[in-house]
Amino acid sequence: MTAITVALNGVKVVDDVEPRQSLADFLRDRCGLTATHLGCEHGACGACTVVVDGLATRSCLTLAAMADGRAVSTLEGLRDDPLMTLLRRHFHESHALQCGFCTPGMLITARDILQRHTRPDDKTVRHELSGQICRCTGYANIVKAIVAAGQDLPQASAAPPDA
């Protein structure tokens, strides 16, 4: 067993993990944070996406031991995040989900996109979502929701016009 200390959703968690246990399994099985979904377990689908030290990260490809000393946020931990609140509203208004399996990873990825791109257009969002798989929606409403959320960002509307 390997001892780890993780700032998980803002709370210090100390636990012992198997050296080969994935971060996704640790979050789901040891911490009860079931918004982290396991789809492919190969990093291809994005359902397991979480935030590690501010970066969107595939938790199925990350060992729990690798999270030692790091800050990890799951969808549950972003409940009060203003950007996530905006995204949830736009996902709802745009009907950007169906079965919901991909939604946690999709929302975390959408948040990451909006943190890196000011007012992204359809093309940018589609490119950035290329690592996320949704088998239900066809992505049109997901892209629409993310673009609309980008238009609503306070810093986007407060940005000075290009000279």
Q: In this predicted structure, what is the pLDDT of residue 158?
A: 43
CATH topology assigned to domain 2-77:
Ubiquitin-like (UB roll) (3.10.20)
Domain ranges of the chain: 2-77, 82-153
Q: In this predicted structure, what is the pLDDT of residue 159?
A: 44
Burial class (CB in 10 A: 0-12, 13-18, 19+), 109: buried
Q: Is the pTM of this model over 0.85?
A: yes
Which CATH code for domain 82-153?
Answer: 1.10.150.120
List per-residue pLDDT tens for the chain, 163 residues long.
Answer: 999 999 999 999 999 999 999 999 999 999 999 999 999 989 999 999 999 999 999 999 999 999 999 999 999 999 999 999 999 999 999 999 999 999 999 999 999 999 999 899 999 999 999 999 998 888 999 999 999 999 999 764 444 443 3
